[in-house]
Every structure is written in C-alpha cells, then in structure tokens.
Amino acid sequence: MPDFERWLTLPPDERARVARENLKNNPHVADAHFERRFKLFLEKVLKPKFNVVDYWYRYEYQSRGSPHVHFFLWCEVPKFPNLSTAEEDQKAFASSGMNKSKTVLQFSSTELTGTQAELADVVNRVQCHIHSGYCQAKKRKVKATTGEELGGAEDSDQMGCRFYFPRQQRTEAVVNKDHNPYHLSFIAARNDPDLHHFNRLVSLA
C-alpha cells in the first residue's frame, strides 16, 4: 500500500485512519493480496492435508466490503456404501479423520506455536454462530418418523435457524438426519451449542 514506511511510524489511531484510506483508494491491491493468500493456502495447506482431487470456489464481498471465499473440495476418502443404514459405518465415517497413534509428523508440544488457548481464542472469535434476520426462516412441517413433508414453509408459522443452531451437545461425532430430515449430515462432537464445525489446522492457519 502507499506510504507503507510512513505508516510504520504512526501511532495506532493514525495507522487505522491511513489503513482505511488506503483500502478505500486501492481496492485492487487488497483484492490481489487476498487472492494470492487464498491460492497459496489452497495449494500448500488444503490440497496436501485433505488429499484434494478437485475443487470449486468463488469470491464474495460481505456488504460490499470484506472479501471471503466459498468453496467445495472433493477429497479422496474411504468408501462407505451403506452409510444411510449402517450405524457402524456412520461412526467410522464421522471419526475416520482421527488418528490416536503418535506418528513421525507429530512434534513435541514445545516446538509448536499454536496452542489450545490460541485455538480457543480464534474459534470463539470467528466460529460461533450469532443469530440474525438472515438465518431465521419458517420451519417446514415434516413427519418425525419418516421425514415426509407435511406442508411447505409457507404453511408454517414457526421460525427457526436455517443452520440448525443451537445444536445439541454430544460426546461422539455421527452422520445422521437429526438436523435435516431430507439429507444425511455430519454432526460433530461438541461442548458448545453455537459453535460451527472447524478444523484446527485451517482455523490456526
């Protein structure tokens, strides 16, 4: 950004003012920086970590401001043909990312800079769901036993969060239709009803 050397010498309040002006006057620089960081993150972290074989993404701007990315990743994963019916397969699918054995890639805790406290700070700041008018929607009427739709959303007067928060606390991860009667969903173990799913590596990166 322009005047970077001068910006380094300014007091905090003045830094914030100059940063706002720079962002307003040079959106192309901020865009290029964001795009480069995301592509490096995709190539150096996401692809090797999660065995990504294909992907799709798009950029969005929140209220025409902060950029962010929505994306799908297709990964190499074990096959579970009976996922919709077999309870053991559901549990295996939900927990297959866990490896309780120590590997050569694990370091001593003294060599790591990202700590549990740091992770907690990050997820509590950016991974907690906050209800807003956007997430509130009329609930569809469905039969609890079969998931059969009894009426459209327009026939309901009951409002609820479209992202299914708050969510029940649980000690085990599963894949089932508890949240959405139409589709299987991954339901993580959780000790906070409003916490989004997160990956420790991605959150701290």
Considering the domain architecture, whether residues 106 and 183 belong to the same structural domain is answered as: yes
How much is the CA Rg of the chain, to the nearest whole Å?
22
Indicate whether 80 pLDDT > 80: no
Is 179 a domain residue?
yes
pLDDT, average across residues 97-106: 46
- Looking at residue 148, its pLDDT comes to 57
Q: Tell me the three state secondary structure of residue 187.
A: strand
Considering the domain architecture, whether residues 30 and 71 belong to the same structural domain is answered as: yes
**Which of 61-65, 84-88, 148-152 is the most confident on average?**
61-65
d(CA 35, CA 57) in angstroms, rounded, equals 11
Q: Quick one: which of 129, 130, 148 has its CA closest to 140?
A: 148
Considering the domain architecture, whether residues 183 and 92 belong to the same structural domain is answered as: yes
Indicate whether 29 pLDDT > 60: yes
Considering the domain architecture, whether residues 126 and 53 belong to the same structural domain is answered as: no
* Distance linking the first and last C-alpha atoms of the chain: 24
Is 193 a domain residue?
no
Assigned token pair, 157: 């007067």
Q: Quick one: which of 141, 201, 144, 204 has its CA closest to 177?
A: 144
- Looking at residue 9, its pLDDT comes to 92
Spatial neighbors of 203 by CB under 8 A, at least 6 apart, are 119, 122, 123, 126, 127
Tell how many helices (H) and how many strands (E) occur in the chain. 7, 8
Considering the domain architecture, whether residues 121 and 165 belong to the same structural domain is answered as: yes
- Looking at residue 101, its pLDDT comes to 47
DSSP string, 45-56: IIHHHHTEEEEE
CB 94 within 8 A of CB 112: no
Indicate whether 15 pLDDT > 80: yes
Indicate whether 59 pLDDT > 90: yes
pLDDT digits (tens, 9 = 90+) for 150-192: 555 555 677 888 888 888 888 888 888 887 777 888 888 888 8
Question: By percentage, how much of the chain surpasses pLDDT 90?
Answer: 23
Q: Which residues pair with 158 in a beta bridge?
A: none
- 120-129, 133-142, 153-162, range with the lowest pLDDT: 153-162
d(CA 25, CA 121) in angstroms, rounded, equals 32
- Looking at residue 202, its pLDDT comes to 83
- 3-12, 91-100, 134-143, range with the lowest pLDDT: 91-100
d(CA 68, CA 189) in angstroms, rounded, equals 27
CB 76 within 8 A of CB 53: yes
Count up the domains in the chain and report the number: 2
Residue ranges making up the domain that contains 46 = 4-75
